Structure 1
Amino acid sequence: MSAAVGALLVGGATMAAAPQRTASTALSRLQTGRYELKEVGSLAEPRVVCLADAAMLIQLQQPDTQCSRLIVADGADSTTINYTCVGGGHGRTVVTITTPRSFDLQTQGISSGAPFDIDYQGRRVGACGPRSTAAR
């Protein structure tokens, strides 16, 4: 393992001690509200989330886990963020903003020891109801 990679791993473990808020130009364009996340290629019902902070999209597969985040690329219409979580999970999420009310999201990584690779299309369907701040 190179010294640079070792330093990143040690730094990542240190950064994971406190939750981070990731500032992203692309994510800041999304309106808050209730969104349906339709898994591309699936017949399953859409996942519904109340999006109070678009940064929650980064860790959809590990929503309650402390993770350090690194913005790899960020522009007006797209962001790529890598994250490493306490306990060994990690992932990479790419969000492409179509409009302030719709986006495409690709996420892949390891959660609870198992790999995931999921593509979603998200669209705003209204305001969040009272007390509806979590994903279902």
Structure 2
Amino acid sequence: MLGTLTKGVWNLRIRDDGSEQRVCVRTGREFIQLRHRQPGCSQVVVRDNPNEVVIQYTCRGNGYGRTSIRREGNGLVQIESQGIADGTPFSISGEARHSGKC
């Protein structure tokens, strides 16, 4: 499912605090590790349907997470992610919309 997302800049709005960030999407996998930006984390696809993907990942020495991404249209996805980063639990609920080219 991630490979079918529109490439380019997406604006991600986090519901909990209202913060926003821009994500340049090239493969769609950029949405998986929002709290673990380092490379080299192992990832396991739990579910991959035409409109939803769930991925569990582990970043050795820095925690783990589980992310669900649900496509509502070519330019709109819902993202839920939770896990442990730097020894602290996190939970993210957000919405991302395609807004243009990177």
Match of 1:118 in 2: 92
In the superposition, the TM-score normalised over structure 1's length comes to 0.71
**TM-score normalised to structure 2 length:** 0.93
- The structure richer in strand per residue is 2
How many pairs does the alignment contain?
102
Q: Which structure shows the bigger proportion of residues in helix conformation?
A: 1
Partner of 1:56, secondary structure, is helix
**1:88: how far off?**
4.0
Contact 2:16 2:92 in 1 (8 A): no
- Secondary structure at the aligned position of 1:119 is classed as strand
Counterpart Cα distance in 2 of 1:88 and 1:42 = 24
Mark the runs of 5 or more structure 1 residues left unpaired by the alignment: 1-25, 129-136
Structure with larger Rg:
1
Preserved contact between residue 42 and residue 57 of structure 2 (Cα < 8 Å): yes
Amino acid in the other structure paired with 2:6: Q
Runs of 4+ aligned residues of structure 1 deviating over 3 Å after TM superposition are none
C-alpha contact 1:65 1:86 (8 A) present in aligned 2: no
Report deviation, 1:77: 0.2
Tell me whether 1:71 sits opposite 2:45 in the alignment.
yes
Percent of paired sites with the same residue: 31
In structure 2, list runs of 5 or more residues that go unmatched: none
The whole-number CA distance in structure 2 between the counterparts of 1:43 and 1:76 is 29
Q: How far does the alpha carbon of each residue in 1:80-107 deviate from its partner, in whole angstroms, 9 at most, with x for none? A: 1000112141000000001121100000
Aligned CA RMSD, in angstroms, stands at 1.1
1:80 aligns with 2:54: yes
